[in-house]
Amino acid sequence: MNNLKFIDNHTHGAFGINFNYGNYDEIKTVLKKLYQLNIKGICPTLVGESDLNIQKQLAVFEKIKNEQLKNPQNETFIIGVHLEGSFLSKEKSGIQDKSVFKIPSVTNFKELVGKYEKIIKIVTIAPENDIDLIEYLNEKNIITQAGHTIGQNLKNCKGTTHHFNAMNPIHHRTPSIALEGLVNDNIYCEIIADLIHTNIDIIKLMLKTKPKDKIILISDSLPISHYDKEIIFCNKKIYPTGKDENNTLAGSIKTLDEICHNLIKQNILTKEDVKKMAFENQIKYLNLIDSEIDILNR
């Protein structure tokens, strides 16, 4: 299984480094270590923060990506940033700080990212709060995902963020994003298949309802992954279990390679399934160009 390659669309860090705060050297260290795990590409994922701090981190990731495009290294490729914070529902904030949330509008988005819009690849949005941001991002070929939401429909989002988690559950008489994502064959669905955020049966349900080329395996890995010490994440103390003091799940404690190898070991997925859902689907979904694909296939 060592020849499997992975692309993680949703990761907050690992090895004790938080993508929301890591400096250039720290992030480069993480990329080198992830590369050793055959994680060939990532969308480093930022939670809600001040505009100033978001732009500081976007500048770091943009610098690294530009360097990688010119001179590929033995390190995980920065495909683009996933903004998971700021445009979420306060009712489904999870571990995040709801005080920094913004209404999803073009004005607020531009204020948040400043001059670094080009490094943005994915934006998670609570579509029920959207003013005009989803339409704008779709026009800019920035992927829109519904997540941290109480909404009942996807409202032109292209995918869902960690499906089932931080959204209303499926009910047989009530429409929901969780339900629409499953039955709409055009929608890509992220899933944290670590058997903690989702159990075996819910993974099997997705496999029976979704085309396999529309499932995106992610880690949602915390900086605590491969670290095994307490960390501060979203201004909260997170324990090696991946939970805070209120027992709220903050994210996964495993990187994507660990999650996928475990799924194969437990006969939930085949090696070919993992190849598709953890690498090939991502390439198509993220609209990668040939030069980026060449780097990922190194």
Confidence class for position 3, pLDDT limits 50, 70, 90: confident
Helix (H) or strand (E) holding 33: helix 24-36
> What 3-state class would DSSP assign to 224?
coil
Q: Which residues, at least 6 apart from 156, have a Cβ–Cβ distance to it below 8 Å? A: 127, 134, 135, 138, 144
> Please, are residues 103 and 129 in contact by the beta-carbon 8 Å criterion?
yes
- What residues does each domain of the chain span? 6-296
- The per-residue pLDDT for range 230-246, each reduced to its tens digit, is 999 999 999 999 999 89
- CATH number 3.20.20.140 given to 6-296: yes
pTM above 0.85, yes or no: yes
- The per-residue pLDDT for range 114-162, each reduced to its tens digit, is 999 999 999 999 999 999 999 999 999 999 999 999 999 999 999 999 9
pLDDT at 88: 98
pLDDT at 148: 98
pLDDT at 228: 81
pLDDT at 2: 61
How far is it, in rounded angstroms, from Cα 85 to Cα 144? 13
Confidence class for position 271, pLDDT limits 50, 70, 90: very high
How far is it, in rounded angstroms, from Cα 268 to Cα 278? 14
